[in-house]
Structure 1
Amino acid sequence: MTSPAHTPKPPYYAVIFTSVRTDGDNGYAQMAEEMLALAATQPGFLGFESARNEIGISVSYWASEEAIAAWKANVAHRQAQGRAKDWYAHFRVRVCRVEREYGY
């Protein structure tokens, strides 16, 4: 069983990536695995969650907007972003500040 990311007490930031995939893998699975491993080494990375059916929803959690900007500017990440049309028919990125959370 998979569990949600363990995040610190708010505030922190969430980057929500929603997408519709193109047909075929086209190297996506390997690149996604590599990008998650790389993101996890970045200063300010707090966690990651993902689910996919007709629409994929991936959420990465970050300590600050500066950490998000540094990840967006990472050279390897930018190269992967350059292949977006190979993998996604549509996508949207939303950046949010998490003010509160609750659950069990």
Structure 2
Amino acid sequence: MVDSDNFSRTLEPPYYAVIFTSQRAAGDAGYERMAEAMSKLAAAQPGYLGHESARSADGFGITVSYWRDEESVRRWKSVAEHRAAQAGGRERWYSHYEVRVAKVERAYAGPAGRAEASTAPSLG
């Protein structure tokens, strides 16, 4: 496991990744509070494995969340508070976004994470 606040814990595949890319609209109006609440709520969900997130100065961002299986992804999508945050995103916080769901079949690390990658915890 890489010891950094920027990297999510690397697990032995397979698992699922939800890739959320977005362009922020002008104005904050509660965005940071909502983002922090969603991060904590996601971490409390069954099947949640971690996430990584970055945003540039122009408001373009990528968040990748990792989930044990596809059912965990579906459950997270249906959580009421998450659905309310999604509505807020469509109405106020994002001028554009894309969501992609992928099954992770292989995972690699390097160079700082190489030693830890060979001893990654198993999901099974």
For the aligned pair, the TM-score class normalised by the smaller chain equals over 0.9
**Number of residue-to-residue matches in the alignment:** 104
Unaligned runs of 5+ in 1: none
Question: Following superposition of structure 1 onto structure 2, how do residues 1-104 of structure 1 map, counting pairs within 5 Å?
Answer: 2-53=5-56, 54=58, 55-84=60-89, 85-103=91-109, 104=113
TM-score, normalization by structure 2: 0.81
Percent identity between the two aligned chains:
54
> Which of the pair has more CA radius of gyration?
2
The structure in which a higher percent of residues are strand is 1
Q: Tell me the distance in 1 between the aligned counterparts of 2:100 and 2:107.
A: 18
Greater than 3 Å deviation, 4+ residue runs: none
* Aligned-pair Cα RMSD in Å: 1.0
